[in-house]
Structure 1
């Protein structure tokens, strides 16, 4: 066992450094997301979801760096990634709208001016929707119309349409004690 450590001493130390830095950056990123969520009074579930997306992105970067540390050649990595991305690309081409909705959900976390409880009006050329934002999820937003009907609206379309704020905090029956927020 000591022979293993003496042979791969540099790789072990570099790997520990990479994963240590990954852990620290991941904690900082989650803290930043939590602070942004708290300042904008964003629901805890949305902040956790965006934190997971960021953690997964950093993990892929750390694994890529780790592959270089362990001596994997660039041509081998290029072959693996091109094969994986080709398969994923073909699979995701059929579900590209899901990816655009997830991306829109992340963008909405950082820059969407409306929050849960606001009554909004979505101006679409075919029809207009006036409803209260009940929940903002990673793929769609849940809107409650005045007649009680639940409307799910895709996040990517929400960023493409004009929206008017009708009433801020339109939930009359809910007491906001802050427990659902960061």
Structure 2
């Protein structure tokens, strides 16, 4: 009984935070799904973006819980900066993975091409004209007119010029 009396405010704040986080997750999921439906995005890509957003809200809610239960903000900042430093050093060699994930999310929300479009990638050394077969978290699957399958990293799509080709190939060339 003493625990309840001593930490009543923290318990109420925790309950409110949990309710808010659950409501926020539901609202965000519905908004992203509505956006995906109106822009004709692929469902598995939609679910991937929702997972990323849920991970972010979970991390922020854990930080909020730590503050609610009395940890000083300066101690949180020290802990987060230490963790970030360790993770940053560990992930420095893996920057391309993070870059591809970020690019995948950006491609979901803002890029003008979609699965089924034929694109030209303006690369001086390796120009590509191919149909987009799939857009994943890390890469885009492409198929050329000759049937060659190419896996192209998402982050390179932001570094190279892209043209969307209209009626460039005969539709039967790309049927599996």
Q: Offset of 1:150 from its aligned partner?
A: 1.0
How far does the alpha carbon of each residue in 1:102-154 deviate from its partner, in whole angstroms, 9 at most, with x for none? 11111111111111111111111212101110100011100011111110111
Match of 2:147 in 1: 148
Q: Offset of 1:162 from its aligned partner?
A: 1.5
Match of 1:97 in 2: 96
- SS in structure 1 of the partner of residue 40 of structure 2: coil
What do you get for the CA RMSD once the two structures are aligned?
Answer: 1.8
Equivalent pairs, count? 173
Match of 2:163 in 1: 164
Distance 2:99 2:59 in 1: 20
Instruction: Give the structure-1-normalised TM-score.
Output: 0.89
* Structure 1 segment 12-161 matched on structure 2, within 5 A: 12-161=11-160
Residue segments in structure 1 that go unaligned for 5+ positions in a row: 175-182
- Higher RCO, 1 or 2 (CA under 8 Å, sep at least 6)? 1
Instruction: Give the structure-2-normalised TM-score.
Output: 0.92
Distance 1:159 1:38 in 2: 24
Q: Offset of 1:79 from its aligned partner?
A: 2.3
- SS in structure 2 of the partner of residue 96 of structure 1: helix
Once superposed, which parts of structure 1, at least 4 consecutive aligned residues long, lie more than 4 Å away? 170-174
Distance 2:27 2:101 in 1: 22
